Chains A and B, each alone.
Chain A
Amino acid sequence: MEQLSVNHLLGIKYLKEEDIQLIFKTADRFKEIINRPIKKVPSLRDITIANLFFENSTRTKLSFELAEKRLSADVINFSASQSSVKKGETLIDTVNNILAMKVDVVVMRHPNPGAALFLSKNVDACIINAGDGTHEHPSQALLDAYSIQEKLGDMRGKKIAIVGDILHSRVALSNIYALKMLGAEVKLCGPKSLIPKHIDSLGVNVSTDLMQTLKWCDAVNMLRVQNERMDLNYFPSTREYAQLYGLNLKKLESLKKDIILLHPGPINRGVEITSDVADSKNAIILDQVENGVAIRMAIIYLLVAKLNIPST
């Protein structure tokens, strides 16, 4: 009879290791359920969840929506491009208007770092951060760590590399917090211009040599180059980036050991990884997607469990 120590999922930073283990344990059960012929349970039939996406998303939005529906919650969707946000409404006003329709949980993606934290302090609902700018993306980090743990067992002492655009990646920051909390060693690798200064203060190693990093690690998370967040040129050309930091089958085979390959999606095929690598047996990219639904069901279930019905 354990429960989460938090009332919102704003970032991995706010969690404890026990919280992550509890989410993983609960996700195991949900993974069983989503592999059954009837993939739905009635736990959340009295709960309404709003998915507010102020930024584009395919995978995360679908994954959250599916998780909510598999738990029998009522779901409403909102995307900024078709809304009154364009007319100048503030975030708090938008969300309070939605909450006035008796919504219990808000899943939000927003381009501004800290948007979820801000919301949790100003509105009365359970907030789940589905990505806030370049800050955190906790559910992605949890499903990444869960997928690695599924393949490698206990994370303590395991060597995990994160390669690519660390600077613009909320996945990287959340991943670092989660992996360190679970006891893994973390190494970041990428061009100097895409690695934030002082990132080593989080207790990670930094390298600019892809082959050396690959030889060191048990699992590698290849991040996407986030062209949409780049306001200037961080590297000379995509071709050069692909040559230095892209993973192809030749590099993978020259390691002479099996490493696990993750990618948070969407893949720029031919840039950070080539097609033959993305489709190789090392890649657990589609496992990540499946685990994503189970992890998100666990997150929502455990947070909603804390919204007790007041006894009258």
Chain B
Amino acid sequence: MDSLKNDTFVLSKAVMSPRILLSHKKIEIILNRLACQLIEKYNDFEEVVLVGLQPRGIHLLNRLVELLEKDYGIEKVINGKLDITFFRDDFRRFDKTLSPSSSEMELTIEGKSVVIIDDVLYTGRSIRAALTALDNYGRPNDIQLLVLIDRRFSRDLPIQPDYIGAQVDALEGDKVRVQWKDISKEDTVFIEKR
């Protein structure tokens, strides 16, 4: 009876702890695939701007830029970091104040192809805010969306990604968390209960 109790305890603990969705090896392969997909579409990257969303899309942006420039020999990948805090539609809907990050957008997107880069696509509201925020930097030729994780069937808005690292069917209460090796010990994607 005691052993049964113990087993149940272990089992419930396993369910509660974060489950690994993607390991660092898998993420490495995915990053390379995403980089190749971008090269296939944009070739020399002259007319392309990659825009990472603050705060969490920046890590993915930096990794892709590094891969493209170092491993695939692209001369210059024009990129910027965009903060969308003041463009969000959920201001005053939280108990806490939304705190902004800095934007580093020393560029124009006039006539360029823009690729918005974020780690997890969930409701689509961040992307809507990003589209509004991008208006301030010019009229782009077209805008595409690249995400590491696409949480399917959870969108509030008609927004779909063009480049997807992996697709996940997570429950509404679950949280998909991406951890990057530049701030933690290795790249991993977790799924956990809130």
Given contacts A29-B83, A38-B135, A42-B132, contact A306 B97 (CB under 8 A): yes
Count residues of chain B with CB under 8 A from any CB of chain A: 22
Is the Cβ of A302 less than 8 Å from the Cβ of B97? yes
Indicate which residue in B88, B92, B99 contacts A304 across the interface (CB closer than 8 Å): B92
CB distance from B91 to the nearest CB of A (A): 5
B136: CB under 8 A from chain A?
yes
Name the residue on A nearest B83 (C-beta): A29
CB distance from B130 to the nearest CB of A (A): 13
- Shortest beta-carbon distance, B55 to chain A, in Å? 12
**Interface presence of A37 (CB below 8 A):** yes
- Contact call A1/B86, Cβ cutoff below 8 A: no
Contact flags A107-130 to B (C-beta < 8 A → 1, else 0): 000000000000000000000000
Q: What chain B residues lie within 8 Å of A71 (beta carbons)?
A: 86
Whether, in the assembled complex, A208 has its beta carbon less than 8 Å from a beta carbon of chain B, the answer is no
Q: Contacting A308 at CB < 8 Å: which of B83, B92, B98, B100?
A: B92
Q: Are A1 and B99 in contact (CB under 8 A)?
A: yes
Q: Known interface pairs A37-B136, A41-B87, A42-B132. Does A307 touch B92 (Cβ–Cβ under 8 Å)?
A: yes
> Which residues between 80 and 125 of chain B lie within 8 Å of chain A, taking CB atoms?
83, 85-88, 91-103
How many angstroms from the CA of A307 to the CA of B101 in the assembled complex? Answer: 22
B93 to A305, Cβ gap below 8 A? no
Q: Judge whether A7 is part of the interface by a CB distance below 8 angstroms.
A: no
Name the A residues within 8 Å of B132 (CB-CB): 42
Residue of A nearest to B103 (CB): A32
Complex Cα gap A302–B85 (Å): 12
Residue A290 interfacial (CB < 8 Å): no
Contacts of B94 in A (CB 8 A): 308
Contact with B along A278-312 (1 / 0, CB 8 A): 00000000000000000000000110111111010
B36 to chain A, nearest CB (A): 34
How far is it, in angstroms, between the C-alpha of A169 and the C-alpha of B85 when the chains are bound? 37
List residues of chain A with CB within 8 A of the CB of B135: 38
Partner of B100, one of A4, A29, A37, A307: A29
Q: Which residues in chain B, 123-179, are within 8 Å of chain A measured between CB atoms?
A: 132, 135-137
Contacts of A302 in B (CB 8 A): 97
> Which residues from chain B contact A75 at a C-beta distance below 8 Å?
none
A28 interface residue per 8 A CB criterion: yes
Contact of B102 among A1, A3, A32, A301 (CB under 8 A): A32
Contacts of B103 in A (CB 8 A): 29, 32-33
- Taken together as a complex, chains A and B put the C-alpha atoms of A3 and B98 apart, in Å, by 8
* A26 with B99: CB separation less than 8 A: yes
Chain B residues with Cβ below 8 Å from A3 are 96-97
- Residue of B85, B91, B137 ringed by the most chain A CB atoms within 10 A: B91
Give the residue of B83, B97, B136, B137 whose beta carbon is less than 8 angstroms from that of A305: B97
User: Per-position contact with B for A1-40: 1 when CB-CB < 8 Å, else 0?
Assistant: 1111000000000000000000001101100110011100
Taking CB atoms, residues of chain B closer than 8 Å to A32 are 102-103
Bound-state Cα–Cα, A124 to B136, Å: 36
- Chain B residues in 8 Å Cβ range of A41: 86-87
Contact between B92 and A309 (Cβ–Cβ < 8 Å)? Answer: yes
- Kindly provide the distance from the CB of B48 to the nearest chain A CB, expressed in whole angstroms: 21
- Give the residue name and chain of the B residue nearest to A40 (CB): B136
Output the least CB separation between A172 and chain B (Å): 30
Q: Evaluate whether A305 and B91 lie within 8 angstroms (CB atoms) in the complex, with A32-B102, A36-B136, A37-B136 already known.
A: yes
With A38-B136, A42-B132, A309-B92 as given contacts, are A33 and B97 in contact (CB-CB < 8 Å)? no
- Inside 8 A of A1's CB, which chain B residues have their CB? 96-99
Q: Which residues of A contact B92 (CB under 8 A)?
A: 304-305, 307-309
Contacts of B93 in A (CB 8 A): 308-309, 311
Given A29-B86, A41-B87, 9 other A-B contacts at CB below 8 A?
A1-B99, A33-B103, A42-B87, A43-B87, A43-B91, A306-B97, A308-B94, A309-B93, A311-B93
- What is the interface of chain A, defined by CB distance below 8 A to chain B? 1-4, 25-26, 28-29, 32-33, 36-38, 41-43, 71, 301-302, 304-309, 311
**Nearest 4 interchain pairs by C-beta:** A41-B86, A305-B97, A38-B136, A3-B97
29 sample A-B contacts, Cβ–Cβ < 8 Å, listed by A number: A1-B96, A1-B97, A1-B98, A1-B99, A2-B96, A2-B97, A3-B97, A4-B97, A25-B99, A26-B100, A28-B102, A29-B83, A29-B85, A29-B86, A29-B101, A29-B103, A32-B103, A36-B136, A37-B137, A38-B135, A41-B87, A42-B86, A301-B86, A305-B91, A305-B92, A305-B98, A307-B92, A308-B95, A309-B93
